[in-house]
Amino acid sequence: MSDQRVKSWRLLAANPVTVVSAAVLAGVVAIALTAAWIAPYGVNDVDVPQALRPPSGSHWLGTDELGRDVLSRVLVAVQASMTVAVVSVAFAAVAGVTVGVLAGYRGGWLDTAVMRVVDVLFAFPVLLLALAIVAILGPGLGTTILAIGVVYTPIFARVSRASTLSVRVEPYVAVSRTMGTGSGYILARHILPNITGPLIVQTSLSLAFAILSEAALSFLGLGLQPPRPSLGRMIFDSQGFVTLAWWMAVFPGAAIFVIVLAFNLFGDGLRDVLDPKQRTMIEARRRR
């Protein structure tokens, strides 16, 4: 491992907020992977006599209007939200980076044409465009993933294009071209490795917004469909019971808040480490 990477890891570990957010995200990933096994009850086990029970020893987060265990439903809903976020952001990253890198590296008419399409997509509000896609294709897991992936593709395209434009004029890229090196080798060896920093930060931030987008679509009834639990749908279902059972809305909302906040804080920490200007400022402050 190079000295620069060691310094980056040390700076990352020296930030307690980043460390705590990373620990929270590790816990969220563990929940997403094991939710089906650690949920104490079935997510759709109806027990009407136990309806609207407050948090207790038998139901740690209480029960909903049908007597279903809120903790079990939150755990499985977190799993669903993380699945949607990871798959949709992965789709957006692959599509956006491919388009952005090719446009930035080739330039000319290709860059102009591609970025005009990206600008058109970017002009629409994220949630509005996602709603339009879901309304056309119909609600469901696959449609939700596709809609969120499409609306975040322009963001990755812009970030990767801007980074490629700055890297392609570096001397080592010019030397590779004069030596007759193929474009595929230059992209794989010189361009992509040097634009990973901004892309990693953007991925972390996009995961946070993807969680929010999925919750918003589910809240509006256009995301994940019952009987599959969703954090947004749980909040929607709790509207008529806010005064009777506050836990039905508070715990799903708290799950969304914690996950989104952890992704944002972790993304800020990565930016401080991966951005040379930010890293230089942090190192200067530490020397004082």
Q: Render pLDDT for 128-148 as a digit per residue (tens, 0 to 9).
A: 999 999 989 999 999 999 999
Query: What integer pLDDT is reported at residue 257 of this predicted model?
Result: 97
pLDDT at 237 over 90: yes
Measured CA to CA, the distance from residue 121 to residue 119 in angstroms comes to 5
Classify domain 8-287 by CATH number: 1.10.3720.10
- pTM to 2 decimal places: 0.90
pLDDT, greater one: 60 or 9: 60
Measured CA to CA, the distance from residue 285 to residue 288 in angstroms comes to 5
Across 121-125, 164-168, 278-282, least confident range = 278-282
Is 7 in contact with 282 (CB distance < 8 Å)? no
Query: What integer pLDDT is reported at residue 190 of this predicted model?
Result: 85
pLDDT at 285 over 60: no
What pLDDT band is residue 1 in, cutting at 50, 70 and 90?
very low
